[in-house]
């Protein structure tokens, strides 16, 4: 599950910066995701969250509705990024500054932040540990757009390099992966579903802060 809309009036790339919590709309998005999960009527054994404020606030309605205590896992946090705190669009975009161009030389790694291979390795490790330590039931993990997309692209055999404006990972969306077995490709997981329960709330939402 991705977090909801963040209160970000300056429209900066917030990354791992502190004090970026949900907007009023974002809180409603998180509630929509929680309601969707509850309506699935599946046993949910655990709720795991990134340590960042927006993820923990998005996990809160899930915890309340399903009677779960969130567990923090640092491995599902947003990646690092040299452009944190900067605007990436408009006349004052950091991309217009020639001093920043050196960070754009290798989009396949990428050169501006944590390598994609590092992201997918830590995400899949967290997912594997969650599954293998839970006897039965589903697990909800509240994370961020790029970590979720990196897992998605790994499991669907796509290139890690992607355009943030075209990602299939809406605010408060839910990407479902199923554990098969340890001999299966990518540590036993296959992607089986995607849902966007907050879609009715998405028109006009600010979604420019993702890495």
- What pLDDT does 186 receive? 61
- What pLDDT does 210 receive? 78
- What pLDDT does 184 receive? 64
Residue 142: inside a domain, yes or no?
A: yes
Q: What is the CATH number of the domain that holds 168?
A: 3.40.50.1240
Residue 166: inside a domain, yes or no?
A: yes
Residue 44: inside a domain, yes or no?
A: yes
- What pLDDT does 188 receive? 87
Helix axis angle for 116-132 and 145-155, nearest 10°, is 80
Residue 94: inside a domain, yes or no?
A: no
Average pLDDT in the 198-205 region?
95
pLDDT digits (tens, 9 = 90+) for 31-83: 999 999 999 999 999 999 999 999 999 999 999 999 999 999 999 999 999 99
Which residues are CB-neighbours of 116 under 8 A, at least 6 positions away? 108, 109, 110, 150, 160, 161
Q: How many domains does the chain contain in total?
A: 1
- What pLDDT does 185 receive? 57
Rounded to two decimals, the pTM is: 0.94
**What is residue 145's three-state secondary structure?**
helix
Residue 133: inside a domain, yes or no?
A: yes
Q: If we measure between CA atoms, which residue out of 172, 202, 194 comes closest to residue 32?
A: 172
**Rg value, the chain, Cα:** 17
- Domain containing residue 119: 24-77+114-201
Residue 207: inside a domain, yes or no?
A: no
Residue 47: inside a domain, yes or no?
A: yes
Residue 121: inside a domain, yes or no?
A: yes
pLDDT digits (tens, 9 = 90+) for 136-146: 999 999 999 99
């Amino acid at each position: 599950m991705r977090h909801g809309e963040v209160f970000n009036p300056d429209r900066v790339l917030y990354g791992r910066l502190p004090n970026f919590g949900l907007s009023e709309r974002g809180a409603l998005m998180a509630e929509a995701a929680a309601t969707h999960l509850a309506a699935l009527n599946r046993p949910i054994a655990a709720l795991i969250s990134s340590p960042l404020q927006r993820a923990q606030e998005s996990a809160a309605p899930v915890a309340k509705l399903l009677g779960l205590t969130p567990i923090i896992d640092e491995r599902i946090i947003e990646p690092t990024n040299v452009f944190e705190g900067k605007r990436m669009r408009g006349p004052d975009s950091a991309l217009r500054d020639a001093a920043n161009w050196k960070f754009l030389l290798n989009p396949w790694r990428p050169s501006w932040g944590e390598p994609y291979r590092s992201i997918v390795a830590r995400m899949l490790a967290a997912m594997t540990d969650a599954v293998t330590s839970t006897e039965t039931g589903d697990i909800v993990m509240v994370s961020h757009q790029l970590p979720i997309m990196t897992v998605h692209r790994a499991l669907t055999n796509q290139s890690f390099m992607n355009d943030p404006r075209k990602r299939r990972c809406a605010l408060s969306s839910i990407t479902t992966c199923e554990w098969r077995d340890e001999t299966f490709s990518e540590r036993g997981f296959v992607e089986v579903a995607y849902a966007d329960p907050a879609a009715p709330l998405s028109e006009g939402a600010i979604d420019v802060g993702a890495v």
